[in-house]
Structure 1
């Protein structure tokens, strides 16, 4: 008899966790996109990465696909690719741009 209430509770918790993951995914992707928009274009060439336009296209398409829920939302294929692209930008490109603007350089 106790098993009859389990699926109802499970669905509520699963939906809540999925919504929290979606919000977190969109926030990470939005931060990466906003940072990319505010940077100078010549800095991307100076640190030896993709041009600014390519990063803008990648991040914008990924956030749109995640927002529309294509491929399963934040936990689907495109959502995970979007988070991966945003994290690569935030953890690799952003520090390079910051070092370049500080004048210290990372080389």
Structure 2
């Protein structure tokens, strides 16, 4: 398990977080990332970024009044690819059902 403090990056930490997941931790290992909350949009965006990369968001919690922590488990390339494909399929199904309702 490795812990990374990304608070100094303010709201521009997403690329660095993905880079650290890809290069800083091993498959199956857990990384803990701390970042500054700001207007709270960064919480959902960080979860979305992790989901889009195919890794597993294990936990997301408030650390203190201004900081947030996400716990991420790095997936193998095969698992990440499968998760990305499932996410795309889900998005497509949602769009199709929305189009049918309209």
Instruction: Give the structure-2-normalised TM-score.
Output: 0.33
Instruction: Give the structure-1-normalised TM-score.
Output: 0.32
Larger Rg: 1
More strand by share: 2
